[in-house]
Structure 1
C-alpha cells in the first residue's frame, strides 16, 4: 500500500507549489545577481578612472598579446561599467530586457577581465567568479519576466 503526502500537513500552506515555479535560491540569487552587477559596474567605473589617470594601482605589462594602451583600457572599463550598472538596475526592477542584457554583458565583463588578468590578477579572478554566479542566477530563475 502506498501513501501520498498530505498537502495540508502541519507546517505547510495546504497547497503544493505550482510546477515550474522559481526556487527560493534562484529568485533570491537573481536579486543578489542584480546587486552584484551594480556593484561590479561601479568597480569597473573606478577601474576605468584609475586606468585613465594612469594610477600606480595598475601594473605595467610588457609583451602581452592583448596589450592596449592604458587609456584604451580605461575607456573600455568606464563605458562598460556604466552600462553594466544601468542593466543591473534593470534586472533589479525586473524589466524584460534586463535579464537578457545582464547575461550578455556579464559574459562580456568576464571576457574583459580575463584579458585584464595581467594588469590586476587578483581582482580579475574575483570578478570572473562573481560573473559566473551572476550568469547562473539569471539563467536559473524562471519567475515571470525571465528569459
Structure 2
C-alpha cells in the first residue's frame, strides 16, 4: 500500500491565502489596461485622421481640435500599453502608474464626451474598474501582493 502526498493548499499557509486573488486582480487590471490602451491608440488614430466617426457639437464648454485630441489619446494609449506590461510583472511602479494613467484616461474621455459620447462613457467605466483592481491589492511585509 502506497501513500500519496498532496501538495499543501493555500488554506494551510495563512500568509499566502489572499495571494491568488491579488495576482488575479493585478492580471485583470493589466489586461484591461492593455485593452484600454490599444483602444485609445485606435481612437487617437481616428482623431488624427479626422474620421467622420466623431460628432461635432458647437455648444460644449471644452472645444478642442480633433487632431490635437487624437494625439492626446494616442499618447495616453501608448503609455497605457507600456504600463500594462509592467503590471504583468506585478511591480509597484506599474501599479502606481496604472492608477495614474487610468485616471488620465477618465479625464480625457470626460472631456471628449461630445465627440464620441457612448464610447467615452464605456472607457470611463473601463478605467474605473482598472483603478479599483489596482487599489484593492496591497503589498504585505514579505513583498507579496494580497487582496485587502
TM bucket normalised to smaller:
0.7 to 0.9
CA shift in 2, pair 1:89/1:24, >3 Å: same
Structure 2 runs not aligned, ≥5 long: 1-8
Choose from 12, 15, 26 the match for 1:15: 12
- Count residues with an aligned counterpart: 135
Q: What is aligned with 1:108?
A: 104
State yes or no: 1:41 paired with 2:41. Answer: no
Counterparts of 2:76 and 2:82 in 1: how far apart (Å)? 10
Choose from 130, 133, 136 the match for 1:134: 130
Q: What is aligned with 2:51?
A: 55
- Offset of 1:22 from its aligned partner? 3.5
Choose from 71, 79, 83 the match for 2:67: 71
CA shift in 2, pair 1:142/1:47, >3 Å: same
CA shift in 2, pair 1:129/1:23, >3 Å: farther
The TM-score, its normalising length taken from structure 2, stands at: 0.81
Counterparts of 1:123 and 1:100 in 2: how far apart (Å)? 25
Counterparts of 1:55 and 1:14 in 2: how far apart (Å)? 55
- Asked whether the 8 Å contact 1:22–1:142 carries over to 2, the reply is no
If each structure's strand is expressed as a fraction of its own residues, which one has the higher value?
A: 2
- Asked whether the 8 Å contact 2:34–2:80 carries over to 1, the reply is yes
